[in-house]
Chains A and B, each alone.
Chain A
Amino acid sequence: MEKYNTFRQEENMLIHTRILDAPRDLVWEVWTTPEHIKEWWGPNGFSLTTKSMNVEPGKIWDFIMHGMGRDWDSKIEYVEVKKTSLLFYKHSGVQGEDYNFTVSILFEEVEGKTLLTMKSVFKSKAIIEELNRKVNAIEGGKQTLNRLENYIKILESKNHKKQ
């Protein structure tokens, strides 16, 4: 089967699709059990501890990601759950309600494989644009710090040579 990885933006939605070479039941299990999800979720190089996971509407997955020298508390609230076919959850961040977004993951069986369609829905298109701008600002900050760090290194090496 051809590769079927896509990504696109539609208004206030970001949509990913991916075909996985595994039966749907297994893919579902890997998304909804703590032992499995810790093996692949979260940024590369991070580990994950699940405090509790209740995959039912109105219940939560409470977890901590460990990485970059600190712990990152995270919570996901399940809104709708249709076993093996649909997961719909809410991300609540610390930045306030405007930045919350929902994610729906559709699991479909295609010739023994599983087609995932992941839709991340934001409050508005403007929020996505604002997030873009904020990240840009952060990137700017990082670059400034990197530059400062490099500059200090150069100064230090010059001083060493003088001594």
Chain B
Amino acid sequence: MTQTRDIFQAIADPTRRQIIGMLAQKTLNVNAIAKEFDITRQAVSLHVQFLNDCGLIVIKKQGRERYCEAKLAKLNEVTDWIDQYRKHWDNKFDSLENYLAKIQKKEK
């Protein structure tokens, strides 16, 4: 079975979120990314590969170096907390509206 990797899995991990944050500011090679973490270069490289697999970054080879560039448009797939909050209250206001209609009908 081939494992499909998606954006939600990509950002569920704090190290990967940090890498995305770094790359959002500028393109870096794997060594430069690895310097910022206490984990091994191999571990960082796996995280980078993961991000690449789900399309959040692209890896460009220049000579022996691999440069990572963020592709943040992908992040739009994510439903965020604000959106849930908005939906929740839109929903509640609908319920409120219906309830008000119901009790006003009774009064008449």
Interface size class of B (residues with CB under 8 A): 20 to 34
* A143/B97 in contact, CB under 8 A: no
State how many angstroms separate the Cβ of B2 from the closest Cβ of chain A. 12
Q: With contacts A5-B90, A140-B8, A143-B9 known, is A21 near B99, CB below 8 A?
A: no
* B78/A136 in contact, CB under 8 A: yes
Q: With contacts A5-B90, A40-B92 known, is A14 near B82, CB below 8 A?
A: yes
* A5/B93 in contact, CB under 8 A: yes
State how many angstroms separate the Cβ of B91 from the closest Cβ of chain A. 6
What separation, in Å, do the CA atoms of A21 and B86 have in the docked complex?
A: 21
Is B80's CB within 8 Å of the partner chain A? yes
* CB closest residue in chain A, given B107: A26
What separation, in Å, do the CA atoms of A151 and B8 have in the docked complex?
A: 18
Interface size on A, residues (CB 8 A): 36
Give 1 or 0 for each of B9-37: 1 = CB within 8 Å of chain A CB. 11110000100000000000000000000
Is A55's CB within 8 Å of the partner chain B? no
A contact residues around B93 at 8 Å (CB) = 5, 16, 18, 20, 116
Q: Which of A9, A14, A39, A141 contacts B12 (CB 8 A)?
A: A141
Q: What are 10 pairs between A and B in contact, CB < 8 Å?
A: A9-B82, A21-B101, A26-B100, A43-B91, A128-B81, A132-B81, A134-B81, A135-B81, A136-B80, A137-B11
List residues of A whose CB falls within 8 A of some B CB: 5, 7, 9, 14, 16, 18, 20-22, 26-27, 30, 36, 39-44, 116, 118, 120, 128, 131-137, 139-141, 143-144, 151
